[in-house]
Amino acid sequence: MLGSTSWLVPGTWLTNARLVQGLVDYQELFVTSWDAGTRLILEQELPGLMSLDLQYSVHLPYPDPAQAWDAMQFFESNAFPVLSYVLHPVPGWRAFHWNNRVALENLKDVIEPYPRTVFDVGHHLLGQRVPDTYRASTVEVHAMGVHGGNDHLPLDGEAVKVILPWVTDATLITFEVFDYDALLTSLRVWEGRHAG
Ligand SMILES: [Zn+2]
């Protein structure tokens, strides 16, 4: 399945979800902080998000795993269907009893095994390489172009070559770019991956 981020144009999760409905299969909701304001907007938007022809994953990149835990409980208690909760391997994260939809994203400087892992091609190319043995546990890929020390660029052929061995028919492929045109370019490059 193909997915986008939730930050392609200025606006909320719902603004961005409406934009990509019909273009991708799912949106990865970036919930970058967990506070009362965030919670309020989500409470207002969850019904709208659920009414769209779109599925969702949730990215919870907090340094404090207790915040990620609270955020996950929020989505669960609202019966919001989530494909994957993407966490970072921050200190203490294993102390929580995560549900079976949690996936662990490799970072530039921290790579930890887990039954469900996320391969981020930017972290892989700019930091520590993820060992090939992690392919078996990879359930999601963060796809983007990587050049001159920068990641989150539109996907290109070079990055596709790196990503392909990490992808099966079941893999979630999130184009981790934060611009609508960059998403369109990435989708075009991905769809054309078998050409040439
Ligand atoms: Zn990522």
Q: How far is the CA of 41 from the centre of ligand 1 (A)?
A: 23
How many domains does the chain fold into?
1
38, part of any domain = yes
pLDDT value for 178: 97
Q: How far is the CA of 102 from the centre of ligand 1 (A)?
A: 14
Q: How far is the CA of 44 from the centre of ligand 1 (A)?
A: 26
196, part of any domain = no
119, part of any domain = yes
pLDDT value for 7: 96
Buried b (16+ CB within 10 A) or exposed e, 142-170: bbbbbeeeebbbbbeeebbeebeebbeee
pLDDT class of 159 with cuts at 50, 70, 90: very high
pLDDT value for 190: 97
pLDDT value for 196: 54
Q: How far is the CA of 171 from the centre of ligand 1 (A)?
A: 14
Residue-range definition of the domain harbouring residue 153: 2-191
Q: How far is the CA of 152 from the centre of ligand 1 (A)?
A: 9
Write down the mean pLDDT value for the chain. 96
Rounded Cα distance between 192 and 91, Å, is 40
Token code pair at residue 118: 């996320």
Q: What is the pLDDT of residues 24-76, one digit of tens each?
A: 999 999 998 999 999 999 999 999 999 999 999 999 999 999 999 999 999 99
Q: How would you classify the pairing of strands 55-60 and 85-87?
A: parallel
CATH, residue 117: 3.20.20.150
Q: What is the pLDDT of residues 62-111, one digit of tens each?
A: 999 999 999 999 999 999 999 999 999 999 999 999 999 999 999 999 99
146, part of any domain = yes
